[in-house]
Chains A and B, each alone.
Chain A
């Protein structure tokens, strides 16, 4: 079974279950977007998938292997994670930070590394920031740099088709509309290269627009999972979020639109 999957996942802290009875799988080439109100357990789920936490119940598997049995080096090669950026104390340049994603090791092909790094910085539109000190960037810029770092981590030379996964915790949180759409666009492109992607996104409309599949979490449980059309009904979203949500199929755009 080639997927990143949790089955029967439960994570408890003390007496409180942060997640319970969660079954989710991300297949290579699939873009899964996780939605849900604050405290739904979205980040907890992401960290479980990343192998950061030990489940209280159930299992987390990557390509049929339990993530707890995999070495950190194997995990770093097979999956990249984007978390909300933390402060960096020293004056690393943007290029330095992106370069940390490289998994080829110190003896890896230096030219391949430089080419991939430059290409990715162009894709994410941060090439003009390459020599800037990361510490001095705005939070949106930092977020794009971290995204570029993760792209380098899942980068493979042309022709290699091994499966990788990308997990993103609110990658669009500080981005303006154009950059948010650009980021989700590049996730789409990436999913066409056998990368399985799971992203936590707060913007319901962006979720509807880009997801292959939506997982709607609330109270630590999966409320619904499936295509945007099946999951994102006005009645269900209104109930889960506790505020009126309008969903309609927009004929001009040819897709679901979500208004709040």
Chain B
């Protein structure tokens, strides 16, 4: 059994790990920034250091952290809502829905005459709309075939992913290069384009989702007994469902709009968080958020330093860790462990 005494410090440890990851990611790169000796020693940061730090490094690190929070939290709450430990935003098609929404807005948005002030929000909002459509559809389908168990949702996810891939492929094919980033960006993700103007909208949307999701912890726990049973415990399941779908789709959509699809974070992080801090959502949600941020910051650090001066798509790294983990989960569940 997990000892309850491990659970208190685990949030603190995760917080420290996040701070360390962010500091490391801010310092390390093509230009090394002597953060440690400038804070604790006498070394001054040069103008170049400051420019790299503020204009390039930090927006990217913050974006990675925020997207990590969004994906990990969404994974955790979707698993709770669907009562399915294998629900993950990318596997079940939510991320592809978001990518399709974003791409459609980029390619077709010119005709919509969107005011300049709203432009930074237009693509994330379109991505959120795409994610909402998919999540709602999944929920309706999952309810109809609830007795079929865990696997059916993944099959539905395969179908949705295939459908979205057609749209994504079609749009990238008809678009001018100037309009749209590469297919690789959308399918494997990157934080390469990060600047404060793109970070702020995502940050706001993810923070809003987090603020709305945290108070749902007890309701999500009660839901694990079943929908009618949760109702008997005083939970309004329709309200819970709407909030979870809305928040998860928003967090995933906003992230995908600026960084493409980054797989498996929403699967791996909540599982590790459950192993460390237990299954209660009041622990699972904050722990997933912190660990998701750390993991994504470190994955992006790896993506831009492993093969310098080139950069690898960050989704390659997260999938390299996540896919074997996913396999292990399937095998373990099949053994009934």
CB within 8 Å of B: which residues of A? 47, 50, 52, 72-73, 75-77, 80-81, 83, 86, 88-93, 96-97, 100-101, 103, 106, 131, 146, 153
Contacts and interface: CB of A to CB of B under 8 A. Distances in A.
A47 B228 CA distance: 9
A92 B218 contact: no
B76 to A, nearest CB: 11
Contacts of B224: 88-90, 92
A86 B85 contact: no
Contacts of B221: 92, 96, 100
Query: What are the nearest 7 A-B pairs in CB distance?
Result: A76-B234, A86-B226, A81-B232, A90-B279, A73-B234, A89-B83, A72-B234
Contact of A96 (B228, B274, B280): B280
B235 interface: yes
Contacts of A83: 226, 228-229, 232
A93 B84 CA distance: 18
B229 A90 contact: no
A76 B232 contact: yes
Given A72-B231, A72-B236, A103-B234, A91 B280 contact: no
A113 to B, nearest CB: 13
Nearest to A167: B232
Contacts of B310: none
A80 B279 contact: no
B222 interface: yes
A131 B1 CA distance: 7
Interface of B: 1, 79, 83-85, 150, 218, 221-222, 224-226, 228-229, 231-236, 274, 279-280
**Which of A77, A90, A92 neighbours the largest number of chain B CB atoms within 10 Å of its CB?**
A90
B73 to A, nearest CB: 16
Nearest to B236: A72
A52 B231 contact: yes
Contacts of A96: 221, 279-280
**Which of A72, A106, A131, A146 neighbours the largest number of chain B CB atoms within 10 Å of its CB?**
A72
Contact of A100 (B83, B85, B222, B279): B222
B244 to A, nearest CB: 15
A232 to B, nearest CB: 30
Contacts of A73: 234
A100 B233 contact: yes
Given A72-B236, A106-B218, A88 B231 contact: no
Contacts of A101: 233
Contacts of B225: 86, 88, 97, 100, 146
Contacts of A93: 1
Contacts of B226: 83, 86
A9 B233 CA distance: 24
A91 B229 CA distance: 18
A75 B233 CA distance: 8
A106 B215 CA distance: 11
A97 B279 CA distance: 11
A166 B83 CA distance: 26
**Which of B226, B232, B234 neighbours the largest number of chain A CB atoms within 10 Å of its CB?**
B232
Nearest to B275: A91
B85 A89 contact: yes
A184 B234 CA distance: 26
Given A52-B231, A75-B234, 17 more contacts: A50-B232, A72-B231, A72-B236, A73-B234, A75-B232, A76-B233, A76-B234, A80-B232, A81-B232, A88-B83, A89-B150, A90-B224, A90-B274, A96-B221, A103-B234, A106-B218, A153-B233
